Structures are given as C-alpha cells and as structure tokens.
Amino acid sequence: MAAKGFNRAFYLYIAVMPSPLDRVRVVLCAPSHPGNIGASCRAMQTMGLSRLILVNPQRFPHADAVALAAGATSVLDAASIVSSLDAALDGVALAIGFTARPREFAGAVLSARDAAREALRYAGAGDVALVFGSEMSGLSNDEVARCQVVATIPAAPDATSLNLAAAVQVAAYELRVAAHGETVWSAPAFEPATQESIAELFAHGEKTLAALNFFRPSQPRRLLPRLRRLFARARLEKEEVNILRGILARIDERLERLEQTEK
C-alpha cells in the first residue's frame, strides 16, 4: 500500500511540476503598435509561454491587440504594465536583450538558439526575461546595458531587422525546442505491399504496356529494369498496389473493347 501511495504521489508531482517555460517572461519595451502586442501573445501561447510584461506601451488596451491575439487573449489579459524596464526585470535571475545592431558595450553575445539554452539553464534557479525593444529603434544602449546577455537572430546582412512579433516568435520557438526538443507528429503507417504483390503488379504492367505497344518484348532495352527500380524506390504500400492494378485493369478493358470494335 505504501508503495502504491508513493507511486501515486510521484506521478502527481510529475503532472503538476512546473515547466521551465513558466519561469520565462517576455518584456516589450515601449511597443508602438498594439497589433504587435497581440501577435506576440499569439506567438508566446503557441510555444508555451504565458507571462508578458509591457513597459510603457503607447496604445494599450486596444482592439488591434485583441484581434491579433487570435485565441491567445488569456496571455493578453494577464499582461502586466509597468513604467520602467527596471520594474519589468524585478526579481529575474537573467535578462536577455534581443537586438540586431552591434553594441560596443554589450555583454555576452549569443545567437537566439544559444540564448534559449542559457535561458533554460537559469530558469531552474529563477525567472528569466526576454527583452525586446520598440518597433522603430529597438533596444536603447541603456536598455541593453541592463541585460546580462545580448541575443541576436541571424538574418540576411541587408535586412537584419525583424518585425517585433516575428522576433518574439523566433525566440519563443527556440525556447520551446531547447526545453522539449523537436518532437513532431507522425503520419499513420500503412501496410506495405508484399514482394509477391509487387511482382504481380510488375507482370501485369509488362503485359499491359506490351498491349499498348509502349513496350516491345523483343526489344526490352532498359524500360523494365527502370520500372523495377522505380517500384523499389517507391516502397509501395498494399493499397497503392491495388490502385495501380485497378488502373491497369481498366486499361485492359478499354483495349479489349477497342480490339473487338476493330474486328
């Protein structure tokens, strides 16, 4: 009984154990377009982030923010509004400032991917802030100085500036991958065709092609070996073989009718 009770408690602990992403807050400094606030909420929610802090937003609350949140209004409604970056960073163990422009007095400079790994390393001990600047000018030098790490998103040399919400999406994605890996959904597995059924398909196809005068048994050349190679490379499924046999059967019927008409 004690063992069962321990197992139940253990699995309950695992189920409610907080994700490291719960310790990450996204900070938007002086965002000018409310649509970017809403789109950032959408970007955050799709990647498992929920904590948004707005530093002196120019227009908020706003209908555009609600519209662009598109199902992520829970993140939007829970957003905090503060009057300074210092207030937004209160209590964080690590602040990562995102900027495309090189800064002379920047601290450690990492790619967005490496910054995500660093964020998760610190999230085990305390909160982590991802800090983004305004749409027009990005983070100021003073704002960058308040971040221990500077992160940059690699881009084309002649177009380094990303839309604010797009930058949040990239950062959130990298965090998600760093925390949970690149797991993806799997397509259903279908029953593979047997070698016998493929051989029967090949024989049927050879016969039909000969009837069409597309293939001359007396001069086979390289057609049949190429078809065998095609079938081998395709790794045909049982249902695909049935479809191809059905097509060949319909061609056979038409050829037989044509032959009877000509007689």
pLDDT (tens digit per residue) in 127-175: 999 999 999 999 999 999 999 999 999 999 888 889 999 999 999 999 9
CA dihedral 86, 88, 93, 99 (to 10 degrees): -90
DSSP string for residues in 185-229: --PPP-PBPPHHHHHHHHHHHHHHHHHTTSS-TTS-TTHHHHHHH
The average confidence (pLDDT) of the chain is 91
Q: Which domains does the chain have, with CATH numbers?
A: 20-180 (3.40.1280.10), 195-262 (1.10.8.590)
pLDDT (tens digit per residue) in 212-230: 988 777 776 788 889 899 9
pLDDT (tens digit per residue) in 24-33: 999 999 999 9
**Which percentage of the chain shows pLDDT scores above 90?**
75
Between residues 221 and 91, which one has the greater pLDDT?
91
Would you call 163 helix, strand, or coil by DSSP? coil
Q: Is the pTM of this model over 0.85?
A: no
Least confident of 86-95, 139-148, 199-208, 213-222: 213-222
